[in-house]
Structure 1
Amino acid sequence: MKRLHRLTAILVKLQSKKIVQAAELADKFEVSLRTIYRDMQALTDAGVPVGAEAGTGYYLVDGYSLPPVMFTEKEANALLTASKIISTNNDQSLIDEYQEAVEKVIAVLKTTQKKKLEILEQRVFTYNRTKINPSTSLSVIQQAITDFRVLEIQYTKASKEFSKRLVEPLGVYFTNNTWIMIAHCRLRKDYREFRTDRIINLIETQELFPPKHFTLEEYYKLRYEDWITSEHSDYEHSLPKENQ
């Protein structure tokens, strides 16, 4: 990769993350750490406000922004293809938000690129099975996860039992064409999992909850340990689920 292209790519990387480590950049661009140090100095000399934290990494000073990024044809094709895949998931809010993002990308493309995308759009197909109970709440849940906002949900379990509760959303995952929300349920005073297609109504409250230390890796490790402890005898009830 030519140095100019690498410097541009480094700028994009810096703008996309809060902190970027030199070793991470060296691995990505297959150059030495010394080369990365020289690149950072070159960016600084060019007037880019790059900050550095010893032992942590580099960052862009708040307030600095790059001009609009131009997409290559392959990148635009990848985004279009991804939109086809996303359209097969069962949450309409994700479909709508992603489609708006793709439209913004298409808006900055050259006319020749747009024409090629029109051809590709007609020649990429993904099977979209009928959604029995489509969800519409994923976008709100994702926002609540990053805002640490309490949600009030009306939820129907597989048994058709209806409940209303306050939850602190912590994560989501996708399985069997269904989005699952992991949250701390104030009713159960423990972690629970909720199928988004069984959320009848969702309200964003004005209440914020204190940030919790939570990682999916640790969560699933705990789930697995609970399963082993139960010796498979009562597996269905040993998992912290409300979607049984």
Structure 2
Amino acid sequence: MKRLHRLTAILVKLQSKKVVQASDLADKFDVSIRTIYRDMLALSDAGVPIGAEAGTGYFLVDGYSLPPIMFTEKEANALITASKIIHNNNDKSLISDYDEAIEKVKAILNSTQKEKLELLEQRIVSPPFQKPPTSSHLSVIQKAITDLRVLEIEYTAASQQYTKRTIEPLGVYFTSTIWVLIAYCRLRKDYREFRTDRIINLIETSELFPPKLFTLEEYFKKYIEN
């Protein structure tokens, strides 16, 4: 990769993450950490306000923003391809959010790129498999996970039993047909899984829960593999 392309890619990384490790950048671009140090110095000399903290990494100073970076044709094609897969997803909120994001991507493309993208949209199809039951709660659940916000749900279990739960949402996973929410259930006082298509109603409360020592890796190892 040419240095100019690498510097641009580093800027994208700095915009997309709160903190970026030099070692991660070195691995991504297959260069030495010393080269990354030189790249960061070059960006700083060019006027990009990059902060650095020993043992933490690099970050863009708060309040600074960079102009939009144009998508390459291959990157735009990848997003369109992904959209075809997303549209076979069972969660309506995810489809809606993704469609809005794609519209913003199209807005910054030039005329030639837009024409090529429209052609590609017509030439890619995801076979219409039998649709699973739909849900529309994923967007709210995702935000609740990052906000540490308590949710109240009305839920129908596989046994058709109706129940109300107060939960602390921690993660989600996709089974290729349905989304599953992992949460700490205050009723059961333990982790529980809830299929999003079986959530009848969902309420965002004003209550926040304290951060938990939770990772999906440890969860699957303890609750799924055993």
Task: Name the TM-score, length of structure 2 as normaliser.
Answer: 0.96
Distance (Å, rounded) in 2 between the aligned partners of 1:119 and 1:132: 29
Letter in 1 for 2:189: K
The CA RMSD over aligned residues, in Å, is 1.2
- Supply the AA of the counterpart residue of 1:15: Q
Q: Distance in 2 between the 1:33 and 1:190 partners?
A: 43
Q: 1:99 to 1:120 in 2, by over 3 A?
A: same
User: Paired residue for 2:187?
Assistant: 187
Residue by residue over 1:191-213, the C-alpha shift from the partner in whole angstroms, topping out at 9 and shown as x without a partner, is: 00000000001111111111111
Distance 1:224 1:132, change over 3 A: closer
Aligned equivalent of 2:145: 145
Look up the SS of the partner of 1:10 in the other structure: helix
Q: Which of structure 1's runs of 4+ aligned residues deviate more than 4 A? A: none
Q: Is the 8 A contact 1:83 1:98 kept in 2?
A: yes
Partner of 2:29: 29
- Superposition deviation, residue 222 in structure 1: 1.2
Deviates more, 1:55-64 or 1:209-218: 55-64
**2:50 — aligned with what?**
50
Say whether the 8 Å CA contact 2:132–2:177 is kept in structure 1.
no
1:201 equivalent in alignment to 2:201 = yes
Q: Match of 2:123, SS?
A: coil
Q: 1:11 aligns to what?
A: 11
Q: Is the CA contact (8 Å cut-off) linking 1:87 and 1:128 kept in structure 2?
A: no
- 1:163/1:77 CA distance change after superposition, 3 Å: same
Who is 1:238 aligned against? Answer: none
Q: Which residue in the other structure is 2:64 paired with?
A: 64
- CA distance in 2 between counterparts of 1:88 and 1:129 reads 8
Stretches of structure 1 that go unaligned for 5 or more consecutive residues are: 228-244
CA positional deviation for 1:224? 4.3
Query: Residues 97-129 of structure 1: CA distance to partner in whole angstroms, max 9, x if unpaired?
Result: 001101100010000110011111111000232
Note if 1:2 corresponds to 2:30.
Answer: no
Correspondences of 1:209-228 after superposition (within 5 Å): 209-224=209-224, 227=226
Letter in 1 for 2:22: A
Q: Which has the larger radius of gyration?
A: 1
Tell me the distance in 1 between the aligned counterparts of 2:21 and 2:12: 14
**What is the CA distance between 1:91 and its match in structure 2?**
0.5
Question: In percent, how many aligned pairs have the same letter?
Answer: 74
Q: Name the CA distance, whole Å, in 1 between partners of 2:224 and 2:98.
A: 33
Count of matched residue pairs = 226
Kindly state the Cα deviation for residue 32 of structure 1 after the two structures are TM-superposed.
1.8
SS at match of 1:63: coil
Unaligned 5+ segments in structure 2 are none
The secondary structure found in structure 2 opposite 1:214 is coil
Q: How does 1:107-186 map to 2 (within 5 A)?
A: 107-186=107-186
Is the CA contact 2:171–2:183 (under 8 Å) kept in the aligned structure 1? yes
AA matched with 2:50:
V
